């Protein structure tokens, strides 16, 4: 239970950050460019979530460098956080049971977090995953596969 409370606190902290886009810092343009992306997630081999034109978030560290944690989602209906993915195309990271590296999915009803598996940097803009996850608060386990994709993530290397 302590891990789930910690995970929820981390997610709330992530969502309270101001996410940046990959647009230019040109002050003459009053409307910033917004990057979008797509995602597809399967639980036990059945399509669970998919989206296009989803909002994308990037996070910078204290030095202003983009880190390998990204968000994608559709407002408050679905938010997906992928953390600890490889920065080199073709590399693989092992997901661990504390969620970092891992995939966390917040829907209107539940929180799904990965417990094991792999994250693969398939291309500069695509991150794939394959493993197991748990549905909180129901504590049901699923196999999970899928990907998230956005041109915005090309800046993470």
Q: Give the global pTM.
A: 0.78
Long-range contacts of 58-65 (CB under 8 A, 24+ apart): 58/19, 58/20, 58/21, 58/22, 58/152, 58/153, 58/155, 58/156, 59/14, 59/17, 59/19, 59/20, 60/20
- Determine the pLDDT at residue 34: 64
Determine the straight-line distance between the first and last CA of the chain, rounded to whole angstroms: 35
Place of tokens 């600890």: 84
- Determine the pLDDT at residue 96: 84
Could you list the pLDDT tens digit for every one of the 157 residues in the chain? 444 444 443 444 444 333 444 444 444 443 345 689 999 999 999 999 999 989 999 988 999 889 999 999 988 899 999 999 999 999 999 998 776 899 999 998 899 999 999 999 999 999 999 999 999 989 999 999 999 999 998 998 8
Phi-psi region of 16 (alpha: psi -120 to 50; beta: other; left: phi over 0): alpha
- Determine the pLDDT at residue 85: 93
- Determine the pLDDT at residue 137: 87
Pairing of strands 92-95, 102-107: unpaired
């Amino acid at each position: 239970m302590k891990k789930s409370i910690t995970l929820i606190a981390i997610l709330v902290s992530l969502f309270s950050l101001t996410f940046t886009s990959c647009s230019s810092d040109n002050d003459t343009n009053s409307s910033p460019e917004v990057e979008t992306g797509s995602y597809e997630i399967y639980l036990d081999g059945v399509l669970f979530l998919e989206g296009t034109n989803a909002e994308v978030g990037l996070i910078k560290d204290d030095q202003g460098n983009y880190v390998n944690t990204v968000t994608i989602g559709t407002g408050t209906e679905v938010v997906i956080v992928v953390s600890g993915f490889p920065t080199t195309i073709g590399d693989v990271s092992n997901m661990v049971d504390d969620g970092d590296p891992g995939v966390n999915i917040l829907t209107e009803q539940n929180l799904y977090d990965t417990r094991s598996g792999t994250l693969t940097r398939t291309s500069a803009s695509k991150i794939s995953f394959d493993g197991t996850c748990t549905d909180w608060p129901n504590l049901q386990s699923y196999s999970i596969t899928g990907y998230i994709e956005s041109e915005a993530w090309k800046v993470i290397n």
